[in-house]
Each structure stands twice: as structure tokens, then as C-alpha cells.
Chain A
Amino acid sequence: MDAAALTSRFPATQDLAGKDMPTYRVAGSDLLAVVSALRDEQGFDLLADLCGLELQGRPVRFGVVIHLLSTTHKEYVRLHVDAVNDRVPSVSSLHPGANWHEREAFDMFGIVFEGHPDPRRILMWDAYPYHPLRKDFPLAGIEVPFPAADVAEVTGQKVEPAPMMGGPFVSHGGKLSEGEPTALDQSWTEEKPKA
């Protein structure tokens, strides 16, 4: 990994001093050139992972993390990209394996990958109106119409918030607890609603 070549050629690239692998914050406008240079000049030929993330308390709400692996030098590099205005350039033209990862990041976070060949949802159905992994989305879900109108007509079924029974169920911090994971607030259930 030739770090100097990367930072001198792309001045906006910032070394984040990753503890486990070289980590850089890359500007969105540089992303394609950086990934292309890493692939063609430094041997990072395999896209190991691409995921979206939401970090609270930062000016840019969403970001994308890309892990690249060099199968010749046996080393990883990690790239952080901020999604300014929720937009990031798609790297699926350089690494075809990024296609579905980017669709998942779009589905779960609403990050738009510019230049993606097939920008559809991948996990939720196409008409779903929310992005469920955002921090302001409740785990139980929000009521929306059932995906298929004809099935909904026959069954009367809607997409409903899941019963949480005081959950989410968590293990009580610290060392490995021996008890079962329990709800943080056990004062209410579905039969006895919260006061």
C-alpha cells in the first residue's frame, strides 16, 4: 500500500490512521478515480464489502464504507466517503460486485448511488416508502399498505408495526450476562399498555 502516492495525487484524501488497516476519507468527487487507481496501480482488485452508515452528530448524515482487498499483496484498505446530499458515485462500473451492495445501502439508508445501472430496492418491495435502517425509523416499523393490493383485499392484511412487548430485547451490558435478554422497560405488555 503506497499511501504517499494516494494522498499526494488526491489532496482531498485524508488519512484516518486506522488501527487494523489503512483507512482514508475520500471526497465523493475523487471516489471513482481513487478506487480505479487502487485497483489498477496498487493491486486492490477485489471489493470485499460496501455498506452504508449513519453517524449522528456529524454535518453529513450518511456515509459509505468500502473495503478493498488486494489478492496479490494480501492486504486491505478501507475508504470512507461522505454522502453529501445523500449522494455518492457508484463504483459498480469498476467493481461489478458493488451492484447489490449499493442497492442494499440505497434500500436501507436512502443513499443514492449516482450512475448505478439498476437503482432499485433489493430487500424491501419497490413501493415501500421508508428506509428502515435510518436511526429515526422505529424497529417495529410503520404501518403502510400491504405490498399486493389484491392479496390485501382478500386477507385484510396491512404492514403493521410489530408487537415489541416492551422491547427491543437486550442483554444487560458489561460482561457476558447469564440471564436471558430482556426488555429494558418491563412495566408494560400488549395486555397492559404503557401508562
Chain B
Amino acid sequence: MTMVKSDFGYNSKVEGEVIVTRADAVVNWVRSNSVWPMPMGLACCAIELMAAGGSRFDISRFGMEVMRFSPRQADCMIVAGTVTYKMAEVVRRIYDQMAEPKWVVAMGACASTGGMYRSYSTLQGVDNIVPVDIYISGCPPRPEALLDGMMLLQEKIRNEGGSLRRTFRGRTVETKIVS
């Protein structure tokens, strides 16, 4: 007995419902629900970051439980704590090693502005060395505040235009969808 495949193309009985949408929306939806954070824990904010990862606050509800300690595998760097000038170099190098697209969250007063450390040793805000997407206030912020900030980041990712276009070392790179 031979089977002849007679129907080419779309078959609703086999493939079910179809949703037609923009490529941007799909890409952003996927990205926003699988933000893999890299904890850049530098001070006490990191303790709250760990609490947000635990079962009580449970960051996995937002698709972010996959904390990656390698910049190659992370999408979002959460700078949690005081950035000293000595550490700033390391923070920037790790940011440079992250693959595009990438986002940065400045968690807490120190990462956002230097906080109470008005001194010779402390970088006055991590936005001096890396572009920051979300600033979270608090000293340290509670896990709820971190989750709120991460949800705002998801919102930002969802509304990004040109998600297939990225700047890479000064050049604009277009990702082609091949169908």
C-alpha cells in the first residue's frame, strides 16, 4: 500500500489554529518571557536577589529562574550592589561578553546612583559605564520591588521595535527570517 501526500501547504486538521502576527511581536514575546538574568551580586542587594529567586517570591513565575553565572548565556544583568571603581572594570567587561540582545537592571540605590557611598572608592551609578534599562529604588529593595522592576523590563521588551535589528560594534545587523 502506498500513501500519496496530496495536500500541500497548510492543513487545518493537522496543524490546528493559526495566529498571524508581526515578527517583532513574536520575538519580543519570546524574549520577554525567557529573560535569563545574570546576578551581578556586589553587596547586600544580592541577598534580596537570592530571596527573589527562592520559593517564597519565586522569580520563575516570570520565566527568569534560570540564573546564569556565565555572561555568554545571560540576557539581563542585574547589578545588585555597590559598584566600586575597582569592580567597575569587571562589570563592564562582563557586560561586553554578553550576547545581544542584552539588558541591564540597576538594583538598589548604590547601583543606581552610588547610594550613600559618596566617597573616593565608589562609582556614582553603574549607568556611567553600562546602559541601564531599569532602575529599582530601595536600600536594599525588597524582592517584590525587584519583581516589579523585572515586570517593567518585560513590558519594555514587549514594546521594543526592530527586535530583529541590533547594533553590533557600531554596525547595524539585520536578522533575516528564512521561511
Contacts and interface: CB of A to CB of B under 8 A. Distances in A.
Interface of A: 123-125, 130, 132, 137-142, 146-148, 151, 154-155, 157, 159-165, 167-168
B128 A162 contact: no
Contact of B120 (A142, A157, A167): A142
Interface of B: 85-86, 88-89, 92-93, 114, 117-124, 128-129
Contacts of A142: 120
A120 B54 CA distance: 40
Contact of A137 (B85, B117, B120, B128): B120
27 contacts: A123-B121, A124-B121, A130-B120, A132-B120, A132-B121, A138-B120, A140-B118, A140-B119, A141-B120, A146-B88, A146-B89, A147-B86, A148-B92, A151-B92, A151-B93, A151-B129, A154-B92, A155-B92, A157-B123, A157-B129, A160-B124, A161-B120, A162-B118, A162-B122, A162-B124, A163-B118, A163-B124
Contacts of A157: 88, 123, 128-129
B112 to A, nearest CB: 14
A125 B85 contact: yes
Contacts of B119: 139-141, 162
Contacts of A165: 118
Majority SS at the chain A contact face: loop
Given A130-B120, A151-B93, 19 more contacts: A123-B86, A124-B121, A132-B120, A139-B119, A140-B119, A140-B120, A141-B119, A141-B121, A142-B120, A148-B89, A148-B92, A151-B88, A155-B92, A155-B128, A157-B129, A161-B120, A162-B119, A164-B118, A168-B118
